[in-house]
Amino acid sequence: MTISHKLEGEALESELKGLIADVLGLDPAQAQAFGPGSGLFGHLPELDSMAVAGLLTEMEDRLGIVIEDDDVDGEMLETYGGLLAFARAKLEA
């Protein structure tokens, strides 16, 4: 998928929440209620290491970013806020 314009603000949040719900099979309402401190890896049973791989690949596709091996650490995956900050930084890079 080609992203023709940079995703920002609420559009980025909505896209990110939508793809988390899609990848993990969550109720979309549950994902839409995520706040910066909502726990992801280690908190959501759906998010195991295989699902992490799927989540990152889907983020690359839908956000038009490239995620390197070294980018992936516990901090970015621990909370929704961490993942959002990571996505934002990648889009601005």
Partner 1 sequence: MIATWTPPAAASGAGAPELLLAFDRGRALRVLVCPAWFDEANKLRRFTAEVMRRLDRAGIDSLLPDLPGCNESLAPLHEQTLEGWRAAMIAAAGALRATHVLAIRGGALIAPPGLPGWHYAAQSGPKMLRGMIRARTIASREAGLAESSEALLAQGRTEGLTLGGWKLGAALLAALETAERVLAPGQSDLAQSAVGGPGLWLRAEPDDDAGQADRLAARIAQSLAGEPG
Task: Give residues in contact with partner 1 (CB under 8 A).
Answer: 21-25, 46, 48-54, 56-58, 60-61, 69, 72
**Cβ at position 63, least distance to partner 1 in Å:** 14
Q: Which residue has the tokens 């650490």?
A: 73
CB 41 within 8 A of CB 34: no
Quote the tokens at residue 91. Answer: 């889009």
What is the secondary structure of 62-74 as a DSSP string?
A: HHT----GGG--H
CB of 85 to partner 1, least distance (A): 20
Q: Is 59 helix (H, G, I), strand (E, B) or coil?
A: helix
Complex with partner 1: residue 4 or 49, whichever CB lies closer: 49
Q: 37 vs 71, which CB is nearer to partner 1?
A: 71
Question: Which residue number, 12 or 72, has a Cβ lying nearer to partner 1?
Answer: 72
